[in-house]
Amino acid sequence: MITVFGEGRGFRVVWLLEEMGLAYRLRDVDLLAGVENDHAFLAVNPAGFIPALQDGDVTMVESIAIMEYLMARHGPTPLAPDPQSPAYPLYLQFLHLGEAGLAASIYWVGNARRLPSAAERQNPTAAHALWQYHNRLKLVTRQLERTPYLAGETFTAADISVAYALMTAEKNAGLELGPAEQAYLERATNRGAYRRAMETCHATRAWYS
Ligand SMILES: N[C@@H](CCC(=O)N[C@@H](CS)C(=O)NCC(=O)O)C(=O)O
């Protein structure tokens, strides 16, 4: 049985598992309660961040790597275009840009918003992270002028990666999405698998509602 540890970016993994129709269980990891007391989770990921995955004797972290692993090992799936298809380069680019370009930068913007003083909230690192998010978003905006999904005409795991980053930008960082990104997010999340993932991920549901 596949086990997903923790929500946060683990929502991407749960969404993907629902898209693929694979059996799994979600094991809660409460970062706010203090992961240092969660010895069973620390045995899985000694660094204590989420998500992590266990699949038989495989243990992994990094949400994008986990998605690539699941699609490769339990696929094939239309969520990962064939490497020889025209969609593949864009798919791979946006799969990674969703984390490395968007979620990784917006994460620090969201964290800075919760700092106690205005000076801390407006620190240069947070300002640069916000700039970086907007900068990388230009690639998403341009692609959405060309195609309905990031790799072309059909939904792929790249959309799970980027849609989650846009959700975080809205809800954690309090940013307003432009009309193209808003319409895209509605299109990308109007899926049974997304709704089932939201049913499973109670913390994400509470955070996003
Ligand atoms: N690049 C990693 C980022 C993991 C990450 O930063 N997760 C957050 C929650 S979504 C976390 O655990 N933060 C607490 C920490 O880093 O200790 C991924 O995509 O899985």
- pLDDT digit string, tens, across residues 61-118: 999 999 999 999 999 999 999 999 999 999 999 999 999 999 999 999 999 999 999 9
Q: Which domains does the chain show, CATH number per domain?
A: 2-79 (3.40.30.10), 88-194 (1.20.1050.10)
Nearest CA to ligand 1 atom 13: 49
The DSSP secondary structure of 69-135, one letter per residue, reads HHHHHH---TTS--TTSTTHHHHHHHHHIIIIIIIHHHHHHHHHHTSSSHHHHT-HHHHHHHHHHHH
d(CA 199, CA 195) in angstroms, rounded, equals 6
**pTM score:** 0.98
Ligand 1 pocket check: which of 7, 9, 204 to mutate, most ligand atoms within 8 Å of Cβ? 9
The pLDDT-based confidence of 138 (bands split at 50, 70, 90) is very high
For the record, the structure tokens of 112 come out as: 């800075």
For the record, the structure tokens of 18 come out as: 């629902």
**What lines the ligand 1 site, CB under 6 Å?**
8-9, 31, 48-51, 62-64, 99
Residue-level pLDDT at 111? 93
- pLDDT digit string, tens, across residues 170-188: 999 999 999 999 999 999 9
Residue-level pLDDT at 11? 98
Q: How far is the CA of 86 from the centre of ligand 1 (A)?
A: 32
Q: Rounded to 5 degrees, what are φ and ψ at 166?
A: -70, -40
Residue-level pLDDT at 68? 98
- pLDDT digit string, tens, across residues 30-59: 999 999 999 999 999 999 999 999 999 999
Nearest CA to ligand 1 atom 17: 49
Burial state string for 109-142 with b = 16 or more CB within 10 A and e = fewer than 16: bbebeeeeeeeeeeeeebeebbebbeebbebbee
Q: How far is the CA of 49 from the centre of ligand 1 (A)?
A: 5
CB 157 within 8 A of CB 88: no
Residue-level pLDDT at 203? 97
56: exposed, middle or buried (Cβ count in 10 Å: 0-12, 13-18, 19+)? exposed
Task: State the average pLDDT over residues 115-126.
Answer: 93
Q: How far is the CA of 65 from the centre of ligand 1 (A)?
A: 13
